[in-house]
C-alpha cells in the first residue's frame, strides 16, 4: 500500500514506449511461429529469438536475468514454466510454451504462447484452450480501477469449468522499465489482490498456467529453473502484456498471425 502508485501510472509518451516494446515482442513471436515444427531443438529456437532481437538492436530481457543464461523459456509438455532451451528436439504430439521478453528503448514486452506440435492429443489441446480462454476471459473482465483479483476470479472459474487446476507458485506481474515489478498478478484470488487496484496507465501481464492434473509443482534441483507438474501431466500457458487505460484494457502483445480471442485449439 506504500507503493508509489503515481509512478506506475504511465504518461501517454511512456505508454507509447510500452506499446512499441509489445509490438516488437509480438513481431518476434510471429517470426518464430513457422519454425515451431517437429525436429527443431529448443536451443535452436533460443538462437532464433536471440539473433532476431539483437539484429533489430533490442535486448532479450531474460539473458543474464537473475543468472538465467538464455533469451527465452521453452517449456515442453509437463514443464509448467522456465524450461531452459537446450538439445531437446520437438516431436509430433508435443506442446511447447515459448515465453519471450524484449527490452525496447528501456521498456519491456513480455508474452508467451503454447504451440501444438503436429498431432496433439485431446487433453493437450484442451489445456491449451483452457489457458488461452482463461487469459482472454480475465483480460475482458478488467475495468479501470478494478481489483487485481478480477483476474484470479476469472481464471479459476474457467479452469474449474474444464476440471483443470491453476498454478499458484508463479504469477503475473507489473512491468515497465523493470521486468518484474508491483503489482503481483496471481491467477487465483487472494486477500492482497482483492485490495490492490489496476489504475489507468499501469502495465502488467496476465499469464495463467493451467495443469491437466494437480496444481502442485516441482522445481528441478539440477538446474534450479525448470518447473514441472508434480504428477507429470500436461501444463499450458499463454501470456500477454496489458496496459490499463481510462477506457479499459489494451493488449500490447497481440501478434498479427497469432491466435486471437475466440481461437479454437480443439
What three-state secondary structure class fits 80?
A: strand
CA 104 – CA 184 distance, rounded (Å):
22
In angstroms, rounded to a whole number, what is the distance separating the alpha carbons of residues 96 and 86? Answer: 13
Task: Count Cβ atoms within 10 A of the Cβ of residue 20 and give its class: 0-12 exposed, 13-18 middle, 19 or more buried.
Answer: middle
Q: How far apart are CA 116 and CA 86, in angstroms?
A: 19
3-state class (DSSP) for residue 134: helix
Q: Does 71 bind ligand MF3 (CB under 6 A)?
A: no
Give which of ligand MF3, Co ion, none residue 73 binds (C-beta under 5 to 8 Å, depending on kind): ligand MF3
- Among 5, 47, 68, 254, which residue sits at the site for ligand MF3 (rule: CB under 6 A)? 68
Is the separation of the CB atoms in 155 and 208 below 8 Å? yes
Minimum CB separation of residue 179 from ligand MF3 in Å reads 7
* Interface with ligand MF3 in residues 76-95 (CB under 6 A): 82
Q: Which of 97, 165, 205, 211 binds Co ion (CB under 5 A)?
A: 205
Residue 99 sits in the site that holds Co ion (CB under 5 A): yes
What's the grid cell of residue 130? Answer: 483452457
Q: How far is the CB of 171 from ligand MF3 (least distance, A)?
A: 9
Among 3-11, 50-58, 61-69, 117-125, which window interacts with ligand MF3 (CB under 6 A)? 61-69
Q: Is 62 in the site for ligand MF3 (CB under 6 A)?
A: yes
Residues 19-58, interacting with Co ion (CB under 5 A) = none
Per CB under 6 A, which of residues 101..160 are in contact with ligand MF3?
Answer: 101, 110
> How far is the C-alpha of 109 from the C-alpha of 89, rounded, in Å?
27
Binding part of the chain for Co ion, among 28-36, 105-113, 140-148, 224-232 by CB under 5 A, reads: 105-113
Q: Tell me how far, at minimum, the Cβ of 114 lies from ligand MF3, in Å.
A: 13
- Which residues does 72 contact at the CB level (< 8 Å), separation at least 6? 45, 46, 49, 60, 62, 85, 98, 99, 100, 101
Which of the ranges 42-50, 66-74, 155-163, 226-234 carries the binding residues for ligand MF3, by CB under 6 A?
Answer: 66-74
State the Cα–Cα distance between residues 160 and 12, nearest whole angstrom.
Answer: 38
Cell reading at 9? 501510472
Residue ranges binding ligand MF3 (CB under 6 A): 62, 65-66, 68, 73, 82, 99, 101, 110, 205, 207, 239
Amino acid at each position: 500500500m506504500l507503493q508509489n502508485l503515481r509512478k506506475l501510472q504511465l504518461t501517454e509518451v511512456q505508454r507509447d514506449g510500452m506499446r512499441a516494446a509489445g509490438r516488437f515482442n509480438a513481431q518476434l513471436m510471429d517470426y518464430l511461429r513457422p519454425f515451431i515444427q517437429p525436429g527443431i531443438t529448443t536451443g535452436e529456437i533460443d538462437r532464433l529469438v536471440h539473433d532476431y532481437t539483437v539484429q533489430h538492436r533490442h535486448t532479450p530481457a531474460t539473458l543474464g536475468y537473475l543468472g538465467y543464461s538464455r533469451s527465452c523459456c521453452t517449456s515442453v509438455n509437463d514443464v509448467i514454466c522456465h524450461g531452459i532451451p537446450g538439445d531437446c528436439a520437438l516431436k509430433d504430439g508435443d506442446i511447447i510454451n515459448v515465453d519471450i521478453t524484449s527490452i525496447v528503448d528501456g521498456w519491456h514486452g513480455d508474452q508467451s504462447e503454447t504451440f501444438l506440435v503436429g498431432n496433439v492429443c485431446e487433453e493437450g489441446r484442451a489445456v491449451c484452450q483452457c489457458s488461452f480462454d482463461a487469459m482472454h476471459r480475465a483480460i475482458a473482465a478488467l475495468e479501470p480501477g478494478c481489483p487485481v483479483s478480477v483476474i484470479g476470479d476469472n481464471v479459476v472459474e474457467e479452469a474449474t469449468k474444464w476440471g483443470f487446476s491453476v498454478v499458484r507458485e508463479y504469477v503475473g506481474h507489473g512491468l515497465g522499465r523493470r521486468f518484474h515489478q508491483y503489482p503481483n498478478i496471481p491467477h487465483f484470488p487472494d486477500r492482497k489482490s482483492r485490495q490492490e487496484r489496476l489504475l489507468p496507465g499501469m502495465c502488467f501481464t496476465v499469464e495463467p498456467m493451467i495443469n491437466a492434473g494437480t496444481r502442485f509443482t516441482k522445481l528441478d534441483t539440477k538446474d534450479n529453473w525448470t518447473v514441472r507438474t508434480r504428477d507429470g501431466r500436461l501444463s499450458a500457458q499463454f501470456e500477454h502484456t496489458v496496459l490499463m487505460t481510462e477506457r479499459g484494457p489494451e493488449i500490447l502483445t497481440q501478434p498479427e498471425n497469432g491466435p486471437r480471442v475466440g481461437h479454437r485449439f480443439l
